[in-house]
Amino acid sequence: MSEPVNPVEYTKKELPASMSKIATALIAIGLIGVILAYLFDTTRASFNGLVMLMFVTSIGAGSVFLIAIEYLGGAVWSTPFRRVSEFLGAVVFLLPLLALPVYLNLHSIFEWTHLEVVEADKILSGKSAYLNPTFFTVRVIIFFSIWILFYLILTRNSKKQDSNGDQNLTKINIKVSAIFIPFFGLTLTFAAIDWIMSLEPHWFSTIFGVYYFSGTMLAALSFATILIVYLNEKGYFVKGISKDNYYSLGALLFAFVNFWAYIAFSQFLLIWYANLPEETFWYLARWDGAWKYVTISTIFIHFLLPYIVLAPQPAKKDPKRLIVASVIILFAHFLDIFWLVMPTFGKESFAFGWIEIAFPILAVGLILFVFVFKYKSENLVPIRDPKLKRGLNFRL
């Protein structure tokens, strides 16, 4: 038996009052907007609700994944920050709630729910064994339960360790994380296929799950980065966190910016080159009218801009530039999902008005609120995690 780990000196500080105020305000504004949106234009609101759902899924499921890979990879530089992902991961509890209004309007979003259309279409009736409301519901329940289940196990063990310093809990979490990885891969892929790819039920792409995953990682990581850097600069963590910890965070962000571009480019190039009509129509719809500008802008916002900001070595150690890059990436991921979902709603040009603004406001408000809420009951630092001291001594 290893000895129990002694706690690292840590005094918990109250979060700035402005943070919960901002969260409440965002939720209030967002919620009013969203309710009004559903009243005025239910279909448009449902599509936006889907964008919001997938965005929050990215943060929630992605954060659970980040926790898991920290355990699995045995990383120490990120241990002082892990709680941030543990708090953000709690948004998985919100997912059923956010899915509900979308689910109630399934009929106005998904073409494959229209029985008469499916019957008249040979291809759609061929896949009705998969794309039907009952099986869809079952799958969605499975996705949510798996994410919530693993979130609970991983974070409970982590929290318990704060009181007893038992090293065995780390060992258990490593095993749980290993089991989680294949589950995560499959659930996230099928969530992407069900909620996004099946919007155009004729379209298919085998890389689609990987594509959504690459964005998920970026979103979860950049949201965490913003909070980590902001709170650490204000001294909310413990002593010992150095620029080298920041550097690793920035390098990981940078790597995934490239990974996203790699996956996005691979998908595009192969479809463009082969030029098969059953695949190209999906990109053509995103080249129609005003959508063209959104498509082109993703190249800049999702890839070139964060690439340029993060590429220099000093940038990965600079709190300001890290936050700037993270904000860009977070916005880019929202834009990416908007670009994936909305062309089904508005062909040729995208609708943009107060409805499209209300949903992201609510999303950010909710995520922030969950973070503030979790912060109240737990330590921001896993004080008796065996890897914490190593993480604080971490030097490049």
Partner 1 sequence: MSAIDYTQELSVVEGKPPLREIDELIIQPLDTKPDKNFFIALSITGSMLLLGALMLAWSFYKGTGVWGNNNPVAWGFPIVNFVFWVGIGHAGTLISAILFLFRQKWRTGIARFAEGMTIFAVMTAGVFPIIHTGRPWLAGYLLPYPNQHDLWVNFHSPLVWDVFAVSTYFTVSFVFWYVGLIPDFGTLRDRTASKIKKVIYSVFSLGWRHSNRHWQHYEMVYLVLAGFATPLVLSVHTIVSFDFAVSILPGWHTTIFPPYFVAGAVFSGFAMVQNVLIIIRKIFHFEHIITLDTLERMNKIILLTGMMVGYAYAMEFFIAWYSGVQPEQFAFLNRAFGPYMWAYWIMVSCNVIFPQFFWIKKIRRKISVMFIIAVLVNVGMWFERFVITVTSLSRDYLPSSWAYYKPTLVDGGILIGSFGLFFTLLILFTKSLPVISISEVKAVVDGAQPSHGEH
The contact set with partner 1 (CB under 8 A) reads 1-2, 5, 76, 122-124, 126-127, 130, 167-168, 170-171, 178, 181-182, 185-186, 189, 193, 202, 204-210, 240, 251, 258, 262-263, 266-267, 269-271, 273-276, 278, 386-387, 389-390, 392-393, 395-396
Backbone phi and psi for residue 390, each to the nearest 5 degrees, phi listed first:
-65, -40
Q: How many whole angstroms separate alpha carbon 305 and alpha carbon 248?
A: 20
* Shortest spacing between CB 175 and partner 1, in angstroms: 10
Question: Which stretches within the chain are classed as H helix?
Answer: 17-40, 42-73, 82-89, 95-104, 106-109, 115-120, 122-126, 133-164, 167-195, 208-233, 243-274, 277-285, 291-298, 305-310, 319-341, 354-377, 388-392
Which of 65, 334 has the CB closer to partner 1?
Answer: 65
* Shortest spacing between CB 319 and partner 1, in angstroms: 22
Assess contact for 373 and 61: CB atoms under 8 A: no
Which of 72, 153 has the CB closer to partner 1?
Answer: 72
Which of 356, 385 has the CB closer to partner 1?
Answer: 385
- Nearest CA-CA partner of 8 in 395, 392, 386, 384: 384
- Structure-token pair, residue 195: 């909620």
Which of 86, 356 has the CB closer to partner 1?
Answer: 86
Q: How many CA atoms lie within 13 A of 337 on its CB side?
A: 32
* Shortest spacing between CB 390 and partner 1, in angstroms: 6
* Shortest spacing between CB 129 and partner 1, in angstroms: 9
Assess contact for 306 and 162: CB atoms under 8 A: no
Which amino acid would we find at residue 57?
A: T
Which of 38, 254 has the CB closer to partner 1?
Answer: 254
* Shortest spacing between CB 170 and partner 1, in angstroms: 5
* Shortest spacing between CB 123 and partner 1, in angstroms: 4
Which amino acid would we find at residue 219?
A: A
Which of 211, 338 has the CB closer to partner 1?
Answer: 211
